[in-house]
Amino acid sequence: MRVERVPFRLITFATAAVVLAACGQKNSAPPPQTPEVGVVAVQPTSVPVVTELPGRTNAFLVAQVRARVDGIVLRREFTEGSVVKAGQRLYKIDPAPYIAALNNAKAALAKAKANLVTQNALVARYKVLVAANAVSKQDYDNAVAAQGQAQADVDSGKAAVDTAQINLGYTDVVSPITGKVGISQVTPGAYVQASQATLMSTVQQMDPVYVDLTQSSLDGLKLRRAVEAGRLKTNGPDAAKVSLVLEDGRTYSQQGKLQFTDVTVDQTTGSVTIRALFPNPDRVLLPGMFVRARIDEGTNENAFLVPQVGVQHDQKGQATVLLVDKDNKVVPHIIVTSGTQGQDWVVESGLNAGDRVIVQGTEKVRPGATVKAVDAHLPPPPPPGAPSADEATAAGLSGASAASAAHAASAPAASAAQ
């Protein structure tokens, strides 16, 4: 069989064509694109300065009802959970021993009074006789001393009668204040003792009601400076208004007022306590409830609102943002925040009017990089009751996983169909 030879010149031309084609493909690769980020151009605005703090409710007055004499409880004269008046009898302790003690004290007083009458008469008689030298001066002095002792016995007897009457009165266990009475800690037939100060029940006045709020010592200093500067008042008609958010998320209908700030810092938590006073006519607020209070501190006329997604915190806890400068370069910047309003941080300082803050695509850029800035389109705030961002993210991931699984399941079928 004859084998035809391929001309060498043809092979050379073919090799050159392949090399030139490869070089053409390499030179035609597109250059890397400038990353695109969503920015918000901030402008100063008037923002209400509101501080939100956790706290618990406490009764305005609390009185523990305790036994002040020993004895058997004969009866209870109130309904648990009802409103009682100051001085209203709550329990009756067996008065028989104290009636007997009172009668005994009265008898001793009567005896002392009779003895005093005798001693008074004796002194009067001896006074005349000693002037006539009919009795000695010593006898007269003894009579005067006996008169003084008899008078002391009368005074002691009166005190004993008063004590017996007081103890008898303590058999009527009354409410010290007007308020709502709690659970009875003793039942009829129980033996109570004054020496052990047996707790019988508790009465609490809940209109108005205190709300004790917890605040860090640093924020407490800021609040105190606001009071000293006159931007925040704690009394008078211009006192700072305080609103409450209840455990179920609803806002309490009544507004309260700041009362005072504690003078010491808790060494364990580094926090201070702020007390507010709220009307509670419908007894909605019960002692011990967890609430969140919003303190209206006035208005900041030159604040900036920055979406929370655009604010990061460094290792020192400082709030930072990424700005796009006039040369479209990414520049990190430290800011000072004073709280949140909706989905935005309230920025007190660190920004200027017109600054472009990156709120979308921050994960794609680094400081100093050149970017393409476009107006960000942020989703509207979620309506009340909507799932949180974490829940929404989890739901999205679950949906994506389900979609991926469905696609994976359908792929073999599609291949088989082909």
Q: What are the structural domain ranges in the chain?
A: 38-46+301-375, 49-59+206-299, 95-170
8 Å CB contact between 75 and 188: yes
Is the separation of the CB atoms in 236 and 210 below 8 Å? no
Written out in words, the top-level CATH class of the domain with range 49-59+206-299 is mainly beta
CA 227 to chain centre: 20
Mean pLDDT of the chain: 81
- Banded pLDDT at 120 (limits 50, 70, 90): very high
| Count of CB atoms situated within 10 Å of the CB of 250 | 10
Tell me, what's the pLDDT at 395? Answer: 41
251: phi then psi, degrees, rounded to nearest 5: -90, 130
Confidence check: pLDDT of 108 > 90: yes
- What pLDDT does 378 receive? 77
- Residue 352, classified by CB atoms within 10 Å of its CB into exposed (0-12), middle (13-18) or buried (19+), is exposed
CA 351 distance to own-chain centroid? 32
- Domain 38-46+301-375 falls under CATH 2.40.420.20: yes
Residues with Cβ within 8 Å of 31's Cβ and at least 6 positions away in sequence, in order, are: none
Q: What number is the average pLDDT over the span 132-151?
A: 90
Task: Report CA-CA distances (Å) from 79 to 62, 115, 181, 211, 285.
Answer: 18, 51, 8, 27, 21
Report the pLDDT averaged over residues 396-404. 41
pLDDT cut 70: percent of the chain above it: 76
Range 368-396 average pLDDT: 62
122, 146, 125, 126: which is closest to 135 by C-alpha? Answer: 126
Beta-strand pair 372-375/36-41: parallel
Contacts 24+ apart (CB under 8 A), 231-235: 231/297, 231/298, 232/258, 232/297, 232/298, 234/258, 234/259, 234/260
Judged by DSSP in three states, 348 sits in: strand
- The count of other CB atoms within 10 Å of the CB of residue 126 is 21
How confident is the model at residue 401, as a pLDDT? 41
Residue 304 to residue 322: CA distance in whole angstroms = 15
Q: What is the pLDDT of residues 216-270, one digit of tens each?
A: 777 767 766 766 766 555 555 555 678 999 988 889 999 888 876 665 676 677 7
- Write out the two tokens for 362: 């921050």
In a 13 Å sphere around the CA of 402, the CA atoms on its Cβ side amount to 6
**Residue (of 187, 151, 181) closest to 73 by Cα position:** 187
Rounded CA separation 320/311 (Å): 6
Looking at residue 27, its pLDDT comes to 53
Report d(CA 265, CA 292) in Å as an integer: 20
Average of per-residue pLDDT across 377-394: 52
- Residue (of 120, 127, 111, 124) closest to 146 by Cα position: 120
- Locate 280 and state its tokens: 């509670």
Give 380's DSSP letter: P
Q: Average pLDDT in the 107-128 region?
A: 93
pTM: 0.60
> From CA 212, how far away is CA 277, in angstroms rounded?
9
- Is CATH 1.10.287.470 what the domain over 95-170 is classified as, yes or no? yes
- The reported pLDDT for the residue numbered 68 is 94
